[in-house]
Structure 1
C-alpha cells in the first residue's frame, strides 16, 4: 500500500482531460472517474482502466472491508470500477462492464490531490503532473438530441394508473428516452457536464464497447464493513419552484414514502433483525435543475454477505422500479418499448479497502462506439399523477443534460 500527498491542483474535469491525453499519448486505456461525493472524497480517478464486458453476477465482486484511514484521511487505494445495467431487456451496451485498477488519484474535501496504490509503486511523474498542473485544453464536441414521443409517455402513465386502480401496483416508475448523436469525445461531454452541473454521484468509464457518462445525484447503496446505506430519491420540482412545496405535496410525499418502505424491505432481506432504520426522511435537496425529496435507509448485514447477494436482494434500485417491485418490473417491460440499458442500473466502485459505493444511473448518457447516445428520463407514477405534469417532470430532469454546452463550441440541440 502506498499513499502520496501531491497537493492542490486542477479541477476533476481538468485532471480527467489531462489523463485522457496521457492515455492517448501512451496508447493506454482511458481513465475512469467518480466525481462528487464518493468515499468521502470529491473525486476518485483511475489514471487508466481496462474496462471490459463481464458477467453481471461478477460485477463489483471484490470484498467490502472496513475503511482504514491514514492520518485521518480515508484510504481507497484501488478496486473495481464499472457498471451494471438495468436487468430487464437487452440494451445497446453490455449488461455489465468494468475493470480493476491498482491505483487512484483522490481529491480530498480540502482540495488536495493524493496518489494511492494497492502496491508499493510510486506515482508516475506524468500522472502527478496531470493532477497538479493539467495542461490539456478542452476539446470541442457537439450533440444533437431528438426528444421522445409525448403521446406514448402519456399513454403509459394512464396505463400505470389503470394498474394502480386494479390493485396490481401502488406505484411504478415510467421512463422514456432522448436519443442523440455526438460529434467529438464522450469524455469531453462528461468533463463539461461535471463542471456545469456539479452532480454528487457522477461517474465515467469507457471501453471498446462504448462509454457511460453518469451525472447522477442519487446513491443506490454504500457498504462499509457491515453497514449498508441507501438514499432513494422520489419527489421532484424544478429549481424555479418553492422547495417547501415538496414537503406539503401529498403526491410527492406518498411517492417517496412508498419507495422508502420498498428499500426497507429490500435491505431487510439481508439485514440483521432489528437493524433496518430510516435515518433521514423527506429531506429536500437540490440537484441539477430540480429539487428532490431524499430519504436515507440504513441497516447492518452479516460480514459474509457478498456483492452478488446484495444485488439479489435490492437490484434494480427501488426508486426506478415500483411497489411491489416484481410486478412493477413486469409491467414496465410491457409499457416501455425500448430497454433501459445502463439507465436505471448502477455505476460505481468496489474497493477491498474502502468498501462499495454505487449510484443510481439516472441523468446518465450511454454512448455506442459510433457516437450514438441515449438519455433516459422518468418519474414515479401514483394514482394522483397528471400525465402532463409527469411529462414536464421528464423535461425538467433532462434539461440539465440536453442543455450542456461544450467549453469551446456550441452544442447542436433540438429542443423538445
Structure 2
C-alpha cells in the first residue's frame, strides 16, 4: 500500500489527456476518471483500467486511511438494465473495471499517487512516464440530429397523469451524430469548460461514456447514505443572476416536481435504511449548472450493517429523478412513450471503493461507440406541463454540450 505526493502541475483534465494518449500509443486500457466533487476530492483518476461488461461488483474489504481512495471499481449501470421494454441502446447494461491504484487531486490542486497493490513502484513509474509525454488528442463531430415526437410524448404523458395513472414521469429523447477522435479529450475539455459537479469517464472495447453530470445519485461512506435529486429547471443566461434562479424557486410546477421526487427518493431509501433515520436536510435549493438553473434537494439515511451496496441499489435504481412517481408505473409509461432505448443515459456512473460508493445520475452524458455519438435529453412531466416548453427545456439542457462538441478547444 502506497500513498505519496506526485509532483505534477497538470490538472486532472490535462493528466487525463496524456494518460489516454499514452494508453492508445502503447496498447494499454483507457483511463477512467471522476471529476468535480467526489470522495472529498477534486478528481480521482485511474491511469489504465479495462472497463468490461460485468455485474455490479462486490468490494473486497481493504483498510484505507481516511481521506484516501487507493483504488476501486470504475463503471456504470445502464438505465436499460431495468427497461421494461427489453430494448438496448447497444452498450452493456453494466460494466466495471478494477483499478488497484489511482491519482487523486485534493481540493487545493495537489496530486497524490495512491495504491492498494504490492506492485506500487512499477505502477508509479509507468504513470510518471505517461504524464511526461504531451498529448495532441482532439475530436470532430457532426451536429446532432434531433428526433421528432417529443412534444407528442409529453401530451400523451399528461393525459396519463390526468387519468390518475401517475403523478409525474420523465420523458426523454436521444440526439445522435457522428464522432471521430478521442472521447477522453472530449471529457477533459468538458470538465475544463463546464466544471460539472459529478463528471465521470469510463471506456472499454464496447465504447466510451462521457458523463458531465451535475447530479448525485448515491453517496455512501460508512453506513451513512445520501442522495441529491435534481428536479426543476429554468434557462441560465451567463454567469450573473438573470432572475431565473428566483423564478425557479417560486415556480409552483418546478417545486411540485421536486417535492414529489424527493418524497420518492425518501421512500426508496426508507426501504433499506434504519427506521427513523431518513431525513431531508436540504429541500429546494437552487444550483447553477451549464446553461440552466436546477432545483435540488438532499435525502440522507443510515444503513444497517447487514445492508450491502447491492441491496441499496436494488432499492433505489434507476434514480427517481429520471423515472417518475409512482416509479413502477413511470417505468412502464416511459417504455411505451419513448421510441429509442436510453442506454447509459439516466443510469449511473461512478466509483465503488473501499473508501465508499459514489455514483452520479447519468444526465448530460455522451455515449460513443463505432463512430457514433448519442446524447439523451429529457425532463419531468406533470399535469400542467406545456409540450413546447418541455421541448425547449431539452434544448436548453443540450445547448452547452452541443457547443462543446462543436469546438474541440485547447489541446
TM range (shorter): over 0.9
Alpha-carbon distance in 2 for matches of 1:140, 1:8: 22
TM-aligned CA deviation for residue 26 of structure 1: 2.9
Structure 1 residue 180 and structure 2 residue 177: aligned? Answer: yes
| Kept after mapping to 1: 8 A contact 2:155/2:387 | yes
Out of 308, 311, 318, the residue aligned to residue 310 of structure 2 is: 308
Instruction: Report matched runs for 1:241-320 at 5 Å.
Output: 241-242=242-243, 243-320=245-322
Q: How many residues align?
A: 397
Select the residue among 195, 202, 214 that pairs with 2:211. Answer: 214
1:407 to partner: Cα distance: 2.0
> 1: CA distance between counterparts of 2:63 and 2:312?
17
SS at match of 2:108: coil
The alpha-carbon deviation at position 273 of structure 1 amounts to 0.3
Residues 33 and 46 in structure 1, CA contact (< 8 A), matched pair in contact too = yes
Q: State the distance in 2 between where 1:290 and 1:408 align.
A: 24
Output aligned runs, 1:161-240, within 5 Å. Answer: 161-240=158-237
Cα separation, 1, equivalents of 2:156 and 2:396: 22
Matches within 5 A, 1:329-344: 329-344=331-346
User: Match of 1:145?
Assistant: 143
Distance 1:119 1:101 in 2: 9
Contact 1:139/1:188 (8 A) holds in 2: yes
Question: Which runs of 5 or more residues in structure 1 are unaligned?
Answer: 410-416
Give the CA deviation at 1:85: 0.1
Are the counterparts in 1 of residues 21 and 137 from structure 2 also a CA contact under 8 Å?
no
The DSSP-based 3-state class of the residue aligned with 2:232 is strand
How big is the alpha-carbon RMSD for the aligned residues of Structure 1 and Structure 2? Answer: 1.7
Residues 1:8 and 1:37: Cα distance change in structure 2 (over 3 Å): same
CA shift for structure 1 position 116: 0.4
Q: Secondary structure at the match of 2:143?
A: strand
The list of structure 1 runs, each at least 4 consecutive aligned residues, that deviate by more than 4 angstroms after superposition, is 63-67
Q: Deviations over 1:324-361 (max 9, x none)?
A: 00000000000001110000000001001x10000000
Counterparts in 2 of 1:331 and 1:124: CA distance versus 1, 3 Å: same
Question: How far has the Cα of 1:201 moved from its partner?
Answer: 0.6
Question: Comparing 356-365 with 233-242, which one deviates more in the overlay?
Answer: 233-242
CA distance in 2, matches of 1:12, 1:60: 26
Deviations 1:292-314 (A, max 9, x none): 00100000011221222111100
What's the CA shift for 1:179?
0.3
Matched residue SS, 1:77: coil
CA distance in 2, matches of 1:65, 1:319: 33
Per the TM alignment, residue 367 of structure 1 is displaced from its structure 2 partner at its CA by 0.9
Asked if 1 retains the 8 angstrom alpha-carbon contact of 2:189 and 2:410, the reply is no
* Equivalence map 1:314-329=2 (5 Å): 314-329=316-331
